Every structure is written in structure tokens, then in C-alpha cells.
Amino acid sequence: MSQAADCTTAPAWSVRPLEASIWEDFAELVERNGGVFGGCWCMGHHATEDGTSFHAIRGLDKRAAKEELVRSGRAHAALVYDEKGVAQGWAKYGRLEELPILAQHRRAYEKEARDLPEWRISCFYTDTRHRREGIARAGLAGALELIAAGGGGTVESIPEIVSGRTAHGRFLFQASVELFEEHGFERVRQLGKWAWLVRRAVPPAAEAAGAI
């Protein structure tokens, strides 16, 4: 998607696809937040070509590894910008071959793994100074638009239920079930105390436009 085709998802936020041309915006956001999630550089769901988790590689320069994935088109995200053009968060998405690793709940997932989807939305991040301002919502909406532009298909994620409990936003790496349900996802099965596998079908962009 070109810059001219950026999808505005809320009055205060706009979304652009993470690609080589805006790598430095993504890198500045990560560095501003100390590498995010303990310095992971959002590498937790990626693997090498032989299936090795990047997190299992000792001494890996995660910044360089992430940059190489982005520049080679093997890492995608809906990058959320504020009105000043500064990146403030993202929703990471990709096809299964791009995001093969389930950082959590893998055993429960694989117990009944069937009818695999085409896409996963695997994690979210929001700048620490802008939490609870709708960035995850903008990122999710943007990711779904980008998936539709990429041909659509079945999309899955593993968010957590937040209603009825105290859930600290800094630990909701995969957002909330309730947010996904607002965007048309349905619960498939429970994978943990609060975690649910959710899915929805996203039509291709041309088909969705024809239905309006």
C-alpha cells in the first residue's frame, strides 16, 4: 500500500503498513520504548527458514534481524501515527509462514489444531505515554484493511478477556477479546484462563468494496 493509500482509522490516528520506506519510524518508536517487551524488537513470533525461533539464537542483534525481515517483506504491521506524523504503536499481522510461532498457549492450540487460517494478528504495542487512547483499536482496524488489501481470508488471534477483572494494559500484548469482538471476531475455544482463540473471515478488498 502506498502512502497515498494510507487508511485513516480515527480522527487522531492514521495507519500505514510497515515497510522499508518507514523502517526508521518503527525503529524510533521501539528505541523510544527501550526495545519494547524487554528488548524483543517484536521478534517473538518470527522464525528462521529452518524453523528456529529468533529468540533462541544467542547474541542475535534483534534490531538488525527485524530490519532485515521488514526490508525483505517478511514482517508486517499496521503502524499507527499521531497527527504530527510520529509512530505511536502497531498491530503486527502476517500469514502463517511469516508468524509460525505462538509465544503463549502453543500446547493448548496444537491440541486441536485444524482448519488453519491464512493470517494471524499476533501482537500489539502502544507507546507508554499514549496507552488507553485508542491506538490498539486503530491498529486492529488498520491491520484488517491491510489483510483485505492482501487478498483477505481467515484471520486468527489469541487475545484475553478483560471484562470482569483487573487487566493491566502493559501486559495485554495481544489486546482484548472484547476489542476483537467489536471488529467481528468470534470466540473459537478457550486456550488459557483468560485467553481465547478468536477468528473471522475478511473478504478481499475488491469484494468488500462491491458490497457497500
Q: Where are the domains of the chain?
A: 8-210
- The predicted structure's pLDDT at residue 172: 59
Q: Which residues of 21-30 are buried (b: 16+ CB within 10 A; e: fewer)?
A: ebeebbbebb
- CB contact at 8 A, 165 and 172: no
| 3-state helix vs strand vs coil in the chain, percent to 5 | 30, 25, 45
Question: In three state form, how does the secondary structure of 40-103 look?
Answer: CCCCCCCECCCCCEHHHCCCCCHHHHHHHHHHCCCCEEEEEECCCCCEEEEEEEEECCCCCCCC
- DSSP category for residue 165: S
For cell 499476533, the residue is: 122
- DSSP category for residue 156: E
What is the rounded CA–CA span in Å between residue 162 and residue 149? 30
- How many angstroms separate the Cα of 26 from the Cα of each of 36, 49, 56, 58, 158? 11, 24, 23, 24, 24
pLDDT (tens place) for every residue of the chain, 212 residues total: 434 344 444 458 999 999 999 999 999 999 999 999 889 999 989 988 888 888 888 899 999 999 999 999 999 999 999 999 999 999 999 999 999 988 678 888 888 877 899 999 999 999 989 988 999 999 999 999 999 999 999 999 999 988 765 555 555 578 899 999 999 999 999 998 889 999 999 999 976 554 43
Answer CATH for 8-210 from 1.10.287.3510, 3.40.630.30, 3.30.1330.60, 3.40.50.720: 3.40.630.30
Strand partners, 155: 119, 200
